[in-house]
Amino acid sequence: MNLEELRKKRPLVHHITNEVVMNFSANGLLAFGGSPVMAKEKEEVEEIARVAGALVLNIGTIRKEDIETMIKAGQAANKTGVPVLLDPVGAGATTFRKQAVQRIVKEVDVSVVKGNAGEIAALADIPLKVKGVDADEDGDAVEIAAEAAKRMQTMVVVTGKTDVVSDGEDFTTSSRGTPLLGSITGAGCLLGSIMAACMAIEKDKKGAALFALEFYNKAAERAETKAEGPGTFVPHLLDELAKAYD
């Protein structure tokens, strides 16, 4: 992953995403070096997805009519080789959500699925109890990532105390970051946006995902040293995302 190249190209990342985190995701992606576009009208999503560097589908506040829109955008992205990142927010919380995201995975060729253990388990039908969308999950994240990647035949990123990237065959873990990431909304969603931007530049999906994960967690660690709590953590995290680390 070449960060300088990314910041020069400023890849367009098309988001059909959740309303809670739109502003934070956009500012975080801008800070990192990408160019966010958030468009969700069915009539225009294909036109945007087609020319984007990557597409993010995040079901955090999905409505019934959005399923079709996400599929249209996803299929348009697939046709022109635009990588698609799926964030199955709260997939285990309701039947509607689980069915929605399973339908998306079936109809769209998703490059990477990123979520917490509970969300990934629900999506891939691996039994696990879920509590809310921001809750920490028990269970073996490595096992869930590997099993889900096999079942869905795609790369899977499970976030949590330990983050896991797996393509079904091998896996890499990372235990960086800070608990403050769990105390703000949209921390995982923004990681998804940054990962998508990396995939727009770097063909090696796993390399892109790991770079995004490490960069994001390092930025969070540095932001933590400047923050006095979850509130001041947010602007500092955005500041740190705009910097370069080696």
What residue ranges bind its own copies (CB under 8 A)? 10, 12, 18-24, 26-27, 30-31, 35-44, 47-48, 60-64, 90, 93-97, 131-135, 183-186, 227-232, 234-243
Indicate the residue among 21 and 165 with the shorter CB distance to its own copies.
21
User: Where would I find the H helices in the chain?
Assistant: 3-9, 22-32, 42-51, 64-79, 95-107, 117-123, 141-152, 187-201, 205-226, 230-241
**132 is known to lie in a ligand binding site:** no
> Rounded to the nearest whole angstrom, what is the least distance from the CB of residue 26 to its own copies in the complex?
4
Least distance from its own copies to the Cβ atom of residue 165, Å: 26
> Known binder of ligand: residue 186?
yes
Nearer to its own copies, 90 or 177 (CB): 90
**From the CB of 6, what's the least distance to its own copies, in Å?**
14
Count Cβ atoms below 10 Å from residue 170 Cβ, excluding itself: 10
User: For its own copies, which is the closer residue by CB, 106 or 226?
Assistant: 226
Nearest-10 Cα torsion for 76, 61, 154, 143: 180
Non-local CB neighbours of 175 within 8 Å, separated by 6+ positions: 161, 162, 163
**Do the annotations mark residue 114 as ligand-binding?**
yes
Mention every residue, 6+ apart, whose C-beta is less than 8 A from residue 124: 144, 147, 148, 151, 152
Q: Which is nearer to its own copies, 171 or 233 (CB)?
A: 233
22 is in an annotated binding site: no
Residues in the annotated binding site for substrate = 38, 186
